Structure 1
Amino acid sequence: MEQNLLSVFLCMLFLFLAAKLLLQSRSSKRFPPSPPSLPFIGHLHHLKKPLHRTFLCLSQSHGPIMYLQLGSRPVVIVSSFSAAEECFTKNDIVLANRAKFLTGKHLSYNCTTIPTSSYGDHWRNLRRIGAIEIFSSHRLNIFSELRKDEINRLLWKLSRNAAGDFATVEVRSLFVDLTFNVMMRMIAGKRYYGEDAPDVEEVRQFREMIRELTKYTSTSYPGDFLPILRWIDYQGYRKRLVRLGEKADKFLQGLVDESRARKASFGSTNSMIDHLLSLQESEPECYSDQMIKGLILD
């Protein structure tokens, strides 16, 4: 009992000292206007869905540039065209870094992919590779017939379903299938969605992986804003992310190894992985397997 009371007392003392240091550091700097905050959580209690309407209401009271302390993370909200233009032109390099989140650490190779990497030599190299080797007009034109084929498959399916009479069509799922099939055929030369996709374990693993990645990358984790929740692994979030990261890495490495083996046996194809593996032969330090997997994940 005494040990429990001592632990509680030490935790409260630590939190009090942390809040005091935070307030002292803030008082010595000039910040934009902000709404009232609470200890430890800052302005998190102001955030309500939909977020854009919450920010609109706050900006009407505190101006087009306001400061929010979201737990341990300082945030500046900009809601005027002139201020946003200045952020993305005059001060674009200063504001080009990315916040480090737990998902980026475990799902994006320790924040080294294009969306998660901070501005610097590594990010500029990834951007150069993307612009020249993946999204150039020449590379995209190579896959024009592939995209036409996927669109024709979709049109054939729609015409078949409506052959007898009017039919209800759930368009969203069809466009999701189309998008992923186009991307994966360009990346690895494989189809993973639709009725004519092969019913094999690899397809099921891919779909499950995509569902999990979408779930974790489209939601916020409280531990990214309140570090104490990350330390205690609130709701086992870190363990699940680690498992998902290992599963995704194993799957992506399988695609790379399969393309490497096929390339050695039958020669190179036009897929993105094959093209990057060809570049890896001349520049192995630049086109590492991890970099290729990160680009696939992007």
Structure 2
Amino acid sequence: MEFYLSFSTLLVTTLLFVLPPTLIFYLFDKNRAANTKPPHARGAWPIIGHLPLLSGTELPHKILGDMADEYGPIFTIKLGFQQALVVTSGEMAKECFTTNDKAFASRPKAQAYELMSYNYAVLVFTPYGDYWRRLRKTMMLEVLCQRQVEKLESIRVSELRASINSIYVAWVKKKDSKNPDYMVKLEMNQWIGELILNIMIRIVSGKRFSANDEEGVRFQEVIRKYFELLGAFVVSDFIPILKCLDVDGYKKPMKKVAKELDDILDGWLKEIKIKRNSAKEQQQEGDQVFMNVLVSILERSSEDDFPGFDHDTIVKATCHQIITAGLDMTSATLTWAVTLLLNNPITLAAAQAEIDEHVGRERLVEEADMKNLVYIEAIIKETMRLYPAAPLAAPPESISDCILGGYTVPKGTRLLVNISKIHRDPNIWSYPKEFQPERFLTNQKHIDDKGQHFELFPFGSGRRMCPGAAMAFQEMRFTLASLIQQFVLKKPSQEPYDLAESNGITICKKTPVEVLLAPRLSHTMYGTINE
């Protein structure tokens, strides 16, 4: 969401409310040892610092990337009262997430996290501590570890094939015998979003939304608004004294979205509890949905196991995390992958040739085939290199002083790791702006995306690394392989898709991706999709 607050209004307000105490603090601060500090970016305004620089329409990771060209791989900026450390090299990022991993293990306070994420109960936004450790362990053991991801294969397969079947049915209904080359037009980002949403909701609650389902449409609208507000630039996050004024007007819409999302999650939780009270329902497969599993775990736990929140809040906050995180990163990456492939038809043809060689056209690709489809894996990696869903890693905040790159970093510093800049570093990547999946099959085949190589870490790294990385990567590979095996894909025009990025906490493609599709396999193959 763009920041529309009048800059003059912001400046006057901050001068009136903030200048006197700030001047006193500045004059009596005895700890300003400049020789141990990283380079500090010029151009900061009094009190508000570099906030105006990052509050416009230009994407923050690009602004900070340009600043790195002047100040180097590590420098600081001032965001209101908060100091932020900007890191734009793999070497510095490695120090952050290995040597100083614990120092940067917490999260800063933010109005969006407080109002829309159950007052920091959602794992990705919760401060470092006992609650975070216990909840992360539970999520990893019960739904996000590799073993559990493999157990959820049947859900991914059935949802994907149902969604692909919807494309085939639309093509059958509209094709004309006089036009054997007919192709149905599909808005790809919408199709991918609905697919991933149904997978995540089914994993979490056992439910699924049919096309134009009233609750499904409502849920998608709420989720879109949630991500829009989550990426909003809230002045009081950086100048806390202004919080009571709500100068940018975000508090009311954030509370509204939080209420709408909670109403949906609360309804699912009530349905789960009703089913748990039925002996007949307890014998069914629905008991294995994550919401039900988590209710069982919490019933067996003591109040000290998950300190700070009641059990219902923990259940809803954790399901909130799984759905929103899984939907956002996976959908964005898959949409970029399809866009890049259609802009590079030779790469698309090579990917289809790989599937034809290892799978053929007499059966549908399966998840077990993924280990042989190395080019598909390379395409996903290259997509995440060019367009990481979170180009500025979810910002941690230091909980202790630490040394980084030889500089002293004080407690309370916000860390901004510019993953996008690192992923396009010409010292690491040849032709860094070009889409070349082959690089992961040749000289850089050793680089993975598991958070251990700091040339490529789209899911983050360290103890706050995205816990759903294994599930997201599996979904992306299987979905892309299935789509390009079963359909001929073309652009509606000869012009390449534009590659403009949207603004927000995650970077999606700014404009819709309309794709023309027609069946690529024998029509008898699509009958198996309904099974």
TM-score by length of 2: 0.50
Higher normalized helix content (fraction of residues): 1
For the residue of structure 1 that corresponds to 2:193, the secondary structure is helix
Query: What residue is the counterpart of 2:318 in the other structure?
Result: 295
CA contact (8 A) 2:14 2:48 kept: no
Distance in 2 (CA, whole Å) between partners of 1:88 and 1:14 is 37
Distance in 2 (CA, whole Å) between partners of 1:26 and 1:238 is 36
Distance in 2 (CA, whole Å) between partners of 1:80 and 1:208 is 37
Whether 1:92 aligns to 2:101 is: yes
For the residue of structure 2 that corresponds to 1:133, the secondary structure is helix
Q: 1:26 to 1:126 in 2, by over 3 A?
A: farther
Query: What residue is the counterpart of 2:528 in the other structure?
Result: none
C-alpha deviations, 1:86-107, integer Å up to 9, x for none?
1111001001111110011111
Question: What one-letter code is carried by the residue in structure 2 that aligns with 1:41?
Answer: I
Query: What residue is the counterpart of 1:46 in the other structure?
Result: 53
> 162, 173, 193: which one pairs with 1:176?
193
RMSD: 2.4
Query: What residue is the counterpart of 2:19 in the other structure?
Result: 16
CA contact (8 A) 1:69 1:75 kept: yes
Distance in 2 (CA, whole Å) between partners of 1:259 and 1:291 is 15
Q: 1:284 to 1:142 in 2, by over 3 A?
A: farther
C-alpha deviations, 1:160-195, integer Å up to 9, x for none?
223322122211111000000000011111113x52
C-alpha deviations, 1:54-74, integer Å up to 9, x for none?
212222222221111111221
For the residue of structure 2 that corresponds to 1:20, the secondary structure is helix
Distance in 1 (CA, whole Å) between partners of 2:299 and 2:51 is 49
Whether 1:167 aligns to 2:190 is: no
Q: 1:292 to 1:85 in 2, by over 3 A?
A: same
Q: 1:26 to 1:74 in 2, by over 3 A?
A: farther
Distance in 2 (CA, whole Å) between partners of 1:10 and 1:172 is 41
CA contact (8 A) 2:112 2:254 kept: yes
Using the TM superposition, give the Cα deviation of residue 292 of structure 1 relative to its aligned residue in structure 2, in angstroms. 1.0
Using the TM superposition, give the Cα deviation of residue 42 of structure 1 relative to its aligned residue in structure 2, in angstroms. 0.6
Whether 1:236 aligns to 2:236 is: no
For the residue of structure 1 that corresponds to 2:186, the secondary structure is coil
Distance in 2 (CA, whole Å) between partners of 1:281 and 1:53 is 47
Query: What residue is the counterpart of 2:261 in the other structure?
Result: 248
C-alpha deviations, 1:141-177, integer Å up to 9, x for none?
3322121111111211122223322122211111000
Q: 1:160 to 1:94 in 2, by over 3 A?
A: same
Query: What residue is the counterpart of 1:148 in the other structure?
Result: 157
For the residue of structure 1 that corresponds to 2:108, the secondary structure is coil
Whether 1:271 aligns to 2:289 is: yes
1:203-218 paired onto structure 2 within 5 Å: 203-218=216-231
Distance in 2 (CA, whole Å) between partners of 1:96 and 1:191 is 35
Q: Relative CO higher for 1 or 2, CA cutoff 8 Å, sep ≥ 6? A: 2
220-229 vs 34-43, greater mean Cα deviation:
220-229
CA contact (8 A) 1:93 1:119 kept: no
Query: What residue is the counterpart of 2:367 in the other structure?
Result: none
For the residue of structure 2 that corresponds to 1:95, the secondary structure is coil
Question: What one-letter code is carried by the residue in structure 1 that aligns with 2:236?
Answer: G
Distance in 1 (CA, whole Å) between partners of 2:230 and 2:14 is 31
Identical-pair percentage: 26
Which consecutive unaligned segments of at least 5 residues does structure 2 have?
Answer: 1-11, 176-181, 322-531
Q: 1:181 to 1:107 in 2, by over 3 A?
A: same
Q: 1:110 to 1:251 in 2, by over 3 A?
A: same
Question: What one-letter code is carried by the residue in structure 1 that aligns with 2:79?
Answer: L
Question: What one-letter code is carried by the residue in structure 1 that aligns with 2:50?
Answer: H
Distance in 1 (CA, whole Å) between partners of 2:71 and 2:14 is 34
Query: What residue is the counterpart of 2:355 in the other structure?
Result: none
Query: What residue is the counterpart of 1:28 in the other structure?
Result: 32
Distance in 2 (CA, whole Å) between partners of 1:11 and 1:28 is 23
Distance in 2 (CA, whole Å) between partners of 1:60 and 1:189 is 49
1:56-205 paired onto structure 2 within 5 Å: 56-163=65-172, 164=175, 165-192=182-209, 194-195=210-211, 199-200=213-214, 202-205=215-218
C-alpha deviations, 1:180-236, integer Å up to 9, x for none?
0000011111113x52x6x44x33442332222122113222222233442211243
For the residue of structure 2 that corresponds to 1:169, the secondary structure is strand
Q: How many residues align?
A: 286
Using the TM superposition, give the Cα deviation of residue 284 of structure 1 relative to its aligned residue in structure 2, in angstroms. 5.3
Using the TM superposition, give the Cα deviation of residue 13 of structure 1 relative to its aligned residue in structure 2, in angstroms. 6.1
CA contact (8 A) 1:107 1:245 kept: yes
Distance in 1 (CA, whole Å) between partners of 2:103 and 2:43 is 28
Using the TM superposition, give the Cα deviation of residue 82 of structure 1 relative to its aligned residue in structure 2, in angstroms. 1.4
280-289 vs 267-276, greater mean Cα deviation:
280-289
For the residue of structure 1 that corresponds to 2:277, the secondary structure is helix
Q: 1:181 to 1:14 in 2, by over 3 A?
A: closer
Q: 1:65 to 1:21 in 2, by over 3 A?
A: farther
Using the TM superposition, give the Cα deviation of residue 111 of structure 1 relative to its aligned residue in structure 2, in angstroms. 1.2
For the residue of structure 2 that corresponds to 1:109, the secondary structure is coil
For the residue of structure 1 that corresponds to 2:61, the secondary structure is helix
For the residue of structure 2 that corresponds to 1:236, the secondary structure is coil
Which consecutive unaligned segments of at least 5 residues does structure 1 have?
Answer: 1-8
Question: What one-letter code is carried by the residue in structure 2 that aligns with 1:190?
Answer: K
Q: 1:59 to 1:137 in 2, by over 3 A?
A: closer
Distance in 2 (CA, whole Å) between partners of 1:61 and 1:139 is 46
Q: 1:278 to 1:56 in 2, by over 3 A?
A: closer
127-136 vs 24-33, greater mean Cα deviation:
24-33
182-191 vs 277-286, greater mean Cα deviation:
277-286
